[in-house]
Amino acid sequence: MVRRGAWRALPALMAGAGLVAAPASADTLREALADAYRTNPALQAARAEQRAVDEGVPIEKSAGRPSIDATGRYAEFLNKSSTSFTAPERAITANVDLGVPIYSGGAVRNAVRAAEERVQAGQADLRATESAIFSQVVAAYMDVIRNEAIVGLAANQVDVLSTNLQATSDRFEIGDLTRTDVAQSQARLAAAQSDLRSAQANLIAAREDYIALVGDAPVALQPPPPLPGLPGSPEEAVAAALENNPDLIAARERAEAAGYDIDVAGAGRLPRVSLFTGYGYENFLGTLGGAVTDDPTLPDTSVPQTSASVSAGVAISIPIFQGGRPAALQRQAQARASAALEAIIATERDVIAQVRAAYSSWQAALAIIESSQTAVAAAELSLEGVRAENSIGNRTILDVLNAEQELLNAQVELVTARRNAYVAGFSLLAAMGRAEARDLGLDGHGLLYDPQLNFERVEGKWFDWDRDPDPSVQSTSTVDIPAQDADIRGQANLPARDTD
């Protein structure tokens, strides 16, 4: 089980590597995740979509609640029948009707249950969205750290090769080396400068990706903490994922909802019973009846000009034949339920594959870290020896340049493996359903969003005029954040290699 807040207490995973510094004003991974949790537009939109799904429950419940309708009408009778002496010239009518559903064949009950299952599925989808965004943030965070380290290594390589070229040129001037040696040094320096430009471009792109996800620019990122709760075997990881993976949970909930939809469709063949009562009022505004007085402009006051009525009773509707519609709807619902059941297996397969692949990638990256550390140590020793042998004429300048390149490649491989191991480990936790805000201890950065609270708020609402405040943007814009550069001053902590 993941320990809440474990990220706060555990030491840094990469601190011992000496690849990045951790200034007091630096950003941490937890802060980056917390910023994304509060301001990422994709996550905010997913929460809003879930609130819309929540409303499905009161919508379905409304079909089983009493309803009151009022109607009013004013009419002018422009052409009266020549044989009718009592026809009115105008009339006002008003009616108020109350209906109370008693029995609907189970349609309302099952529709509500289906809506509740879809709420649960939506909440699982929201968890999946949260994990996916966190995975992207972690990858972007680690990309910035990796690319900063690679830029530092590339810049250091340019410095080393520049010094080598100067030394080679000096030795050429005194006749100790040939023009070929100088050309080889120049070529390697030009290639290193090109690699530096590419590394700087990759760093700028990584920083811009970070801004798009987090909503703020990265500032002296600290090494990330160890990942809590990583499994000891792929079997353990799969077992956890089958229980906690939000995509799998959502698929199961949707299959449950589809089962209720079958009963809703079948209810179209059953009787419906309701209670009703109504009040009606009619007023002919003194125009009903003929002229029976001496004054033809006055109505016959002996004829009532208003009427009122009250009715109440029980209504029953029994479907006899509907052209096969209920059966078609039920077969349609059964087919969709069958598809939902198959979706569970498909999702389960995907989850198992994701977990096993992430576990394999994580283990492979750990092994690459170990071998890369050995390679770096060996390349450093090799470079030292080649330089010493070159100084006494046993090695060529090309041998020195090759040794320099081998060391750089090993260092880049090590930095990349550390990044890959961390990202793969986090992806593994996400597939296991253990990479959400509560799992990562983000509760210390403010109240966590709980979708259940909104569902409980709206599920029992009855009032037709109850509405929420007008929508407003919750995420933050990045338009005012300056364009990023490839400057790594104050962030890299890479010891320069000896060039003597």
Closest among 430, 403, 410, 412 to 498, alpha carbons compared: 403
pTM metric for this prediction = 0.85
Residue 306 pairs in a beta bridge with: 283
CATH value at residue 69: 2.20.200
How far is it, in rounded angstroms, from Cα 132 to Cα 124?
12
281, 358: one domain: no
Please enumerate in sequence order all residues whose Cβ is within 8 A of that of 398, keeping only pairs 6 or more positions apart, or say none.
181, 184
382 lies in some domain: yes
188, 39: one domain: yes
What does the pLDDT profile of the chain (500 residues) look like in tens digits?
333 333 433 333 333 333 444 443 458 999 999 999 999 999 999 999 999 999 999 999 999 999 999 999 999 888 877 666 677 888 999 999 999 999 999 999 999 999 999 999 999 999 999 999 999 999 999 999 999 999 999 999 999 989 889 988 988 888 888 899 899 889 999 999 999 999 999 999 999 999 999 999 998 899 999 998 999 999 999 999 999 999 999 999 999 999 999 999 999 999 999 999 999 999 988 887 754 455 555 554 567 888 999 999 999 999 999 999 999 999 999 999 999 999 999 999 999 999 999 999 999 999 999 999 999 999 999 999 998 988 888 888 888 888 989 999 999 999 999 999 999 999 999 999 999 998 888 876 567 999 999 999 999 999 989 989 999 998 999 999 999 999 985 544 433 444 44
379, 261: one domain: yes
Give me the residue label for tokens 């002229």: 291
80 lies in some domain: yes
340 lies in some domain: yes
Q: Return the pLDDT at 233.
A: 96
Q: Return the pLDDT at 21.
A: 41
377, 305: one domain: no
Give me the residue label for tokens 């000009």: 305
145, 258: one domain: yes
116, 205: one domain: yes
Number of domains into which the chain is organized: 2
190 lies in some domain: yes
Angle at the Cα of 129 (from 48 to 134), degrees rounded to 5?
120
Domain span at 75: 65-103+271-318
Q: Return the pLDDT at 301.
A: 53
181, 80: one domain: no
Q: What SS3 class is residue 176?
A: coil
489 lies in some domain: no
Signed CA dihedral, 297, 303, 307, 313: sign only: negative
Closest among 43, 17, 32 to 421, alpha carbons compared: 17
236, 289: one domain: no
CA contacts within 13 A on the Cβ side of 471 = 9
Q: Return the pLDDT at 337.
A: 97
What residue spans of 392-473 are helical by DSSP H?
A: 397-431, 451-458
CATH value at residue 241: 1.20.1600.10
361 lies in some domain: yes
492 lies in some domain: no
25, 90: one domain: no
308, 446: one domain: no
207, 291: one domain: no
453 lies in some domain: yes
Closest among 255, 261, 252, 250 to 121, alpha carbons compared: 250
